[in-house]
Amino acid sequence: MTDVAIVGAGPNGLAAGVVMARAGLSVEVFEAEHAIGGGSRSMELLEPDHRHDVCSAVHPMALASPFFRDFALSDRVPFVVPALSYANPLDGGRAGLAYRDLGRTAMGLGKDGQSWRRLMRPLVQHIEGVVDTGLNSFLRVPRNPVAAAFLGRATLEQGTPLWGLRFSTEEAAALFTGVAAHAVSPLPTLAAAGAGLTLGALAHTVGWPIPVGGSQALVDAMAEDIRAHGGRIHTGRPITSVSEFDGARAVLLDVSPRVAADLARDRLPQRYLSALEGFRYGDGACKVDFILSGPVPWANEEVRSAGTVHAGGSRREVAASEADVASGRHPEKPYVLVSQPSVFDSTRAPHGRQILWTYCHVPNGSTRDMTEAIVRQIERFAPGFRDVVVRSHVMTAADLEQYNANYVGGDFSGGAVTIPQLLARPSFGPNPWRMPVDGLYLCSASTPPGPGVHGMGGYHAARLALKDVFGLPVPELGMRR
């Protein structure tokens, strides 16, 4: 029997597998679907040779996550890093533009340029501490208190009604609002501001990289490393109970709290079981992938070179859209998150074709097809967009849950992104990855540090299991040269 069994071959489950296999343990990973990847899977959705990212597409943490840095991901996977990290188009051909170069960004924001620089420069200068605060500093004193203080101060400003005091132009206000809206929550909130500031600071440092060939390349690199160190990965193998692993010394679950409760119901104490069952999920997404006959004809020429585009309009409009979703309504003018990978990566589509990745936020469990609303919103900022659409593929929020049981109601964040639930994810304590059963651990995005393709949930859980169960140190994870 294996030393370690891992349920779920998403980024966190595979990160845990890398650590355990590198430590010399026998590892088996079980994935219910017929392909690994979870939130980082790529496939041909519509036509041959057109490769779409089914969930995540752009990876700000790929070059910044402590796990991926230790794993030397950038040596294993080629990335394209656009000079223009993200853009927020506005009516009349205007746009807020966030370049990797902070100075260039500030110059483009006119009279709000210095205000943007003052907000972002301390975070850019302390980017490793900012990332550490978000990914490693759970319930302990931050290792970089200066960075934590800068991030905390900026979060208090941009996560409260004070956010209206800094910027006087629509371009700057919308530029920050668009990145904060990644959190899928009402605006302004502290959780959304913290996420937006971290993503924004990464945009001005390592950038927002796009993996060549698709997001699948990230999980394939981890899977290859697991196999190279003796681990085995089983696909098409749904697990119904942790009792299937009674001989394993450690079991790590890269699943949602709801699924974890079902898998271990007869072993968990009622108090913890109640915490899993009471875990609150956030709003969902409706995802639409397009094949285009040419690039998106954005009215603002510079937006055409952005890796990511936030097509939601002004700060007021984005906040209103997110408020609609939080109230259970489908917005007429949704906040649309757009990725243009084939503009930078020619492997995604044949010559003369482009693929486009989009989603908008919708109430949890929604079955509504938002394709037309998404097309209208893009057409608003890119007149003629309809004319370049060849085909589209939609996944409603309900479809997303069918695709991945961890996306409860279409919530790809693994749970509502709120301050209370970031502190109790899914339970409160210094080691939330450790379940109250010897050798059993939770390592999904429903554990700290939360959503994102960074592998840190799996990394933290694996480190804890190595110490608790095997008495082993964390192994070296990088490539041998």
- Structurally, how many domains does the chain consist of? 2
Domain that holds residue 298: 75-209+283-403
Residue 481: inside a domain, yes or no?
no
User: Where do runs of H (alpha helix) occur along 327-435?
Assistant: 371-381, 385-388, 397-403, 419-423
Residue 187: inside a domain, yes or no?
yes
Per-residue pLDDT band at 479 (split at 50, 70, 90): confident
Asked which of 59-63, 201-205, 337-341, 469-473 is least confident by mean pLDDT, the reply is 59-63
- Domain final residue pick, 375, 403, 431: 403
Residue 16: inside a domain, yes or no?
yes
Q: So what's the pLDDT on residue 331?
A: 97
Q: Could you tell me if 257 and 390 lie in one domain? A: no
Residue 399: inside a domain, yes or no?
yes
Q: Could you tell me if 199 and 127 lie in one domain? A: yes
d(CA 283, CA 276) in angstroms, rounded, equals 18
pLDDT average, residue stretch 27-56? 95
Across the chain, mean pLDDT equals 95
Q: Could you tell me if 196 and 296 lie in one domain? A: yes
d(CA 428, CA 90) in angstroms, rounded, equals 42
What is the residue whose two structure tokens read 């294996």? Answer: 2
CATH number at residue 452: 3.50.50.60
Q: Could you tell me if 317 and 367 lie in one domain? A: yes
Residue 305, pLDDT > 50, answer yes
Q: Could you tell me if 346 and 373 lie in one domain? A: yes
pLDDT average, residue stretch 351-373? 98
- Domain final residue pick, 353, 368, 403: 403
- Domain final residue pick, 383, 403, 423: 403
Residue 432: inside a domain, yes or no?
yes
pTM above 0.85, yes or no: yes
pLDDT average, residue stretch 275-282? 94
Residue 67: inside a domain, yes or no?
no
User: Which DSSP state fits 468?
Assistant: I
- Count of CA atoms in the C-beta half-sphere (13 A) of 121: 10
CB atoms within 10 A of CB 405: 17
Strands of 150-301 (E only): list them.
210-211, 232-234, 250-253, 284-292
pLDDT average, residue stretch 94-106? 98
Per-residue pLDDT band at 226 (split at 50, 70, 90): very high
Determine the distance from the C-alpha atom of residue 379 to the mean position of all C-alpha atoms in its chain, rounded to a whole number.
26
Determine the distance from the C-alpha atom of residue 70 to the mean position of all C-alpha atoms in its chain, rounded to a whole number.
19
Q: Could you tell me if 205 and 222 lie in one domain? A: no
Asked which of 47-56, 85-94, 276-285, 411-420 is least confident by mean pLDDT, the reply is 411-420
Q: Could you tell me if 141 and 258 lie in one domain? A: no
The pair of structure tokens assigned to 72 is 């030397």
